[in-house]
Structure 1
Amino acid sequence: MHSIYFLLAFLASNSLAAPSPMITESGIYSWSAPLARFYQEVDKRIQEARKSPDFPNPPACDMSKASMPVAPTPLPGPDPDTYLSHVAIGRGIQNYTCANSSSVPAPIGAVASLYNASCTESNYPSLTTMMTNLVINYPLPSDPTANFQPTNILFSGYHFFTDNTTPVFDLDTAPQKQYGYAVTKRDSASPAPSDAPEGPNGEPALAWLKLNTIDGTKGGLKHVYRVNTVGGSPPKTCEGKNPGVFTVEYSAQYWIYAADES
């Protein structure tokens, strides 16, 4: 489960505990503007939770209430015999290579850590979007399985490529975390919205994708959608780049669908 989901119910009956703010050069404690807005939204949800007749119990984790964002050029929907199994926030790097300064960067895969936003998305989708936009500004924890601060989201797996065209999503990372293992191929793509957030150095947002699973998949997973992307795109040319591999920071949401065997 996603820790913010339970944190909201807990904090509604306790004082708001937030990560330590950053210390500026002048010694003054401060938060970044995006982080401040995030905690304002958390506080808003806390006040709403206190008014609920079910307080202090957290709301049900009903994934059927989650509504996947629609791409500017709508992506094909999931198969009718599937259900939403998992929503993850991915934080990592996109890898590219340059042959020479006059070539175009070629994509050669990505590496990311995945964090569980399933229950939060089903109840507080605005928080999931804010977290996706926020984590691009923070490094991954040194312990790869630790919660990702400052949002406190729980680790749920890894994203990597076995070759330049085969993305993998490993969500079977511990006995208590068996969400499936998806080996995928691209089905379709849509440009990101024109107002999608840029990366730390002004990199445009990656395209939104639909991926279908292929042989090697476990846990009945069928589709993976990459949506709400932040940064990750390469420059248009390799001008100013040394030949070889370079990386671009990104974050995104991954919506994962599994076969309904009922």
Structure 2
Amino acid sequence: MNHNLTSLPTPASNLTLQHVALGRGIQNYTCPSPQNSTSKPTSVGALATLFDVSCIASADEELLHHLPALVQGIPLETLDFLATMISLAGTGAGILGEHYFSGSGQPSFDLRFSGDDDWAMMKKVASANAPKSVDVPWLKLDGIDGVGIKEVYRVYTAGGVSPATCAGHEGEFEVDYAAEYWFYG
């Protein structure tokens, strides 16, 4: 990951890159009921499937950086199906894990889908605006609990930003997004 492109701090010197994932999912928001067109949506977490793209990251990082924008509009079910088919073909690629928010609101990652023991509950320690205002910010997350994962970077995001106001929205709603996730341990 080229840290010269962001204002995010670099990984701790004692950590090494463990995984690179392409996350495809939804950012969750809520608006008050009854509808108030002037209020702003509140972020209430995210849910994403994490696809293993470590081989792409090592072979062609520039190609990797284009993937979030390409997959953001593809239905998640289609990507899950393709990843399963690739896994069954024995290439070692496929679904690495999932990203979600815990009941206490902490960003969490479970990479045990691929046979690793890695999982983590994180806290946000740094944020940088994405190059496009329609894309969620780039983040650095530090581990507060877990196995194997100490730092996570969310970069090269596509989509996920809520509308400016709750006009037309009541209760919970979702916005599709995709991003690269770099895991250090």
Bin for the TM-score computed over the shorter chain? 0.7 to 0.9
Whole-angstrom CA distance in 2 between matches of 1:127 and 1:143:
18
2:111 counterpart SS class: strand
d(CA) in 2 for partners of 1:79, 1:90 = 23
**TM-score, scaled relative to structure 1:** 0.62
For 1:182, give the aligned amino acid.
A
Secondary structure in structure 2 of the residue aligned to 1:163: coil
2:25 aligns with 92
Aligned pairs for 1:1-262 (under 5 A) are: 67-72=1-6, 74-99=7-32, 100-141=36-77, 144=80, 147=83, 154-163=94-103, 165-174=105-114, 177-178=115-116, 180-194=118-132, 204-215=134-145, 217-219=146-148, 221-242=149-170, 244-258=171-185
| Distance change in 2, residues 1:143/1:133 (3 Å) | closer
1:157, 1:172 within 8 Å by CA — same for their partners in 2?
yes
Tell me the C-alpha RMSD between the 2 structures: 2.4
- Tell me how far 1:230 sits from its aligned partner: 0.1
TM-score by length of 2: 0.86
Q: Which has the higher contact order (CA 8 A, sep 6+)?
A: 2
Q: Which amino acid aligns with 2:177?
A: Y
CA distance in 2: counterparts of 1:143 and 1:183, whole angstroms: 25
Q: Map Cα deviations across residues 135-185 of structure 1 (whole Å, 9 max, x no partner).
A: 1121123695751799x96111001001363011100114xx316101101
Q: More strand by proportion, 1 or 2?
A: 2
1:7 equivalent in structure 2:
none
Number of aligned residues: 177
Return the alpha-carbon distance in structure 2 between the equivalents of residues 114 and 237 of structure 1.
29
Larger Rg: 1
Residues 93 and 256 (structure 1 numbering): CA distance in 2 closer, same or farther, change over 3 Å? same
Q: Distance in 2 between matches of 1:149 and 1:132?
A: 20
Secondary structure of residue in 1 paired with 2:63: helix
Which SS does the other structure have where 1:239 is aligned?
coil
* One-letter identity of the residue aligned with 1:167: P
Runs of 5+ unmatched residues, structure 2: none
What displacement does 1:127 show?
Answer: 2.1
Alignment-derived partner of residue 199 in structure 1: none
**Partner Cα separation in structure 1 for residue 178 and residue 117 of structure 2:** 20
Q: Which amino acid counterpart does residue 254 of structure 1 have in structure 2?
A: Y
CA spacing shift, 1:165–1:71, aligned 2, 3 Å: farther
Native 8 Å contact 1:101 1:239 kept in 2: yes
